Structure 1
């Protein structure tokens, strides 16, 4: 197991954050209006909030890979090119893991994907978690000169290249540098046009769509049936953290509004269902993000990150 995967699973369950660190999907933000495209996040504070997440002890920062803005999807994700942004985050953070959720492999030139991922892994001192997928936006494939129907085969071929670092592909003496000192951890989002058995054998972990603890109990069991018990099952929650610590869970699509005590109960239920890591997504959150992150770090993370570094909590609300 890679050191990044070991760090992710330390203590048996961990909590991270999904970028962008923005709450532009909240009702107040929508009513206020914005000059940005629908779905385009406000990234003015991305650096300070990423550094704050690192200081507060969140375990991972997750980035989506959305090469082109398509208004039909209504979501521009975190906007920045994923490997460029990972390199930047590697330079401004120290401990937090850096994950992709997920890179659409068939859209990319395979050798350059390998070089970019290995560069981020070394520049971050082994903190990369490489989430990968086959891609699900048909409009992108012809624009990149790629075959949408053949993306499953392209995905398998690229996984093979990454696994043996193109040893069977390159001419003698030709290498892709840098080469990771240990295999990069590969986490699959969705089925990537593959069979569950193939994914269980080839992948190091699973990135699952958001759901309830009951949903995850079935999905995690299905993952363990093909992958065994040592490969993590990871998912995400779209969180709106209520001011009232005792506010009960009120579910909405992909997550819910809940107080911190209910959040602890929800995460405990996720852990019981077989989830190994949860990334919190804040775009529907109504409260300021630094304040929200500080409260979670003070009252929620210690319930799960037994050896975590929960530092600078008092400072967080005034950042």
Structure 2
């Protein structure tokens, strides 16, 4: 990593937005192409709410080698036994920093930061710092969260999370991207423009995509965010899934004919490679060859990225990566 220039000198002048040049964004989202990402942890644990986190760095390096485009970290502040899932355990931004030091080019993202529970001014500082230090490998997925039990411990009303998301996002963008920003928020204070936050993002803006609807309309997401990652649609709904998004993003926001579209969820990789798509809780079961065919259909429907979480598959993770690397990724590997 070349750190010969001060961080402030690497930022574009006058807050110029060059998101189409952002390396992490480009690796994941390409016009008329589809890439594959993995949701952390890189470990299967179908019978346990938490992973052991053994060999996670080795699996990250292996994923990068076989052409996985991105690793996505979930944001789960507290363990709720009713949900039975703690993600990768570690705070997503701190964990991303660790993985960045252990890998070279793979995009590192969040899927997604629970924005209503985050302090947006400090989040902007953290995100800009990570994007600078990783030389543009960070993509920030943001969500409103789906666990009502987490909100009371933060003293926040769960029912206001949609409005709070919009408020926090506006402050986050202004503070993180504009020089000496002015803003006023009932929740997050105000600034008269006499203070500035450094560093600024290396490409003018760290890409921010919506993970789920975040209590917003699809129109709001298309107008305000740099992409959308939704839940896995049924195969017969792929064309509708793509068309609904394309109709809202007809013009280039990222150097292409529209903003990128993705979907993600749990993957049960069936031992029979020809096993057809079957819905499971939080995702789908499928064989590797059928998965390859499904991804081709998704690409033709306008989907740019698919984020998979094989934690529910009762097989060693290295074995899953080998199968994805030999059957699926040759057609969808990141370039």
Q: TM-score range by the shorter chain?
A: 0.7 to 0.9
Asked if residue 142 in structure 1 is aligned to residue 160 in structure 2, the reply is: no
Q: Distance in 1 between matches of 2:29 and 2:215?
A: 27
Among residues 132, 150, 155, which one is paired with 1:122 in the alignment?
A: 132
Among residues 172, 176, 182, which one is paired with 1:168 in the alignment?
A: 182
Q: Distance in 1 between matches of 2:277 and 2:259?
A: 31
Aligned length: 294
Moved over 6 A (4+): none
SS of residue in 2 equivalent to 1:296 = helix
SS of residue in 1 equivalent to 2:122 = helix
Q: CA deviation at 1:194?
A: 2.0
Match of 2:248 in 1: 226
SS of residue in 2 equivalent to 1:286 = coil
Q: Distance in 1 between matches of 2:151 and 2:199?
A: 29
Q: Distance in 2 between matches of 1:126 and 1:142?
A: 35
Q: Distance in 2 between matches of 1:213 and 1:252?
A: 10
Q: Distance in 2 between matches of 1:116 and 1:233?
A: 25
Among residues 40, 43, 54, which one is paired with 1:22 in the alignment?
A: 43
Match of 1:251 in 2: 278
Among residues 96, 105, 124, which one is paired with 2:115 in the alignment?
A: 105
Q: Distance in 1 between matches of 2:245 and 2:277?
A: 28
Asked if residue 13 in structure 1 is aligned to residue 13 in structure 2, the reply is: no
Q: CA deviation at 1:72?
A: 1.4
Superposed counterparts of 1:1-319, under 5 Å: 1-2=19-20, 3=22, 4-10=24-30, 12-25=33-46, 30=47, 38-165=48-175, 167-169=181-183, 170-181=191-202, 182-228=204-250, 229-245=257-273, 247-253=274-280, 254-258=283-287, 260-305=288-333, 308=335
Q: Distance in 2 between matches of 1:211 and 1:22?
A: 24
Match of 1:313 in 2: none
Q: Distance in 2 between matches of 1:159 and 1:113?
A: 10
SS of residue in 2 equivalent to 1:165 = helix
Gaps of 5+ in 1: 31-37, 309-319
Q: How large is the Cα RMSD of the aligned pairs?
A: 2.0
SS of residue in 2 equivalent to 1:270 = helix
Q: Is the 8 A contact 2:34 2:295 kept in 1?
A: no
Deviations 1:127-148 (A, max 9, x none): 1111111222222122112232
Q: Distance in 2 between matches of 1:9 and 1:86?
A: 19
Q: CA deviation at 1:291?
A: 2.3
Change in 2 beyond 3 A, CA 1:240/1:136: closer
Q: Distance in 2 between matches of 1:127 and 1:60?
A: 9
Change in 2 beyond 3 A, CA 1:92/1:132: same
Match of 1:314 in 2: none
Q: Is the 8 A contact 1:90 1:120 kept in 2?
A: no
Q: Distance in 2 between matches of 1:164 and 1:290?
A: 42
Change in 2 beyond 3 A, CA 1:164/1:250: closer
Gaps of 5+ in 2: 1-18, 184-190, 251-256
Q: Is the 8 A contact 1:214 1:273 kept in 2?
A: no
Q: Distance in 1 between matches of 2:292 and 2:56?
A: 26
TM-score by length of 1: 0.85
TM-score by length of 2: 0.82
Q: Distance in 1 between matches of 2:124 and 2:264?
A: 26
Q: CA deviation at 1:88?
A: 0.9
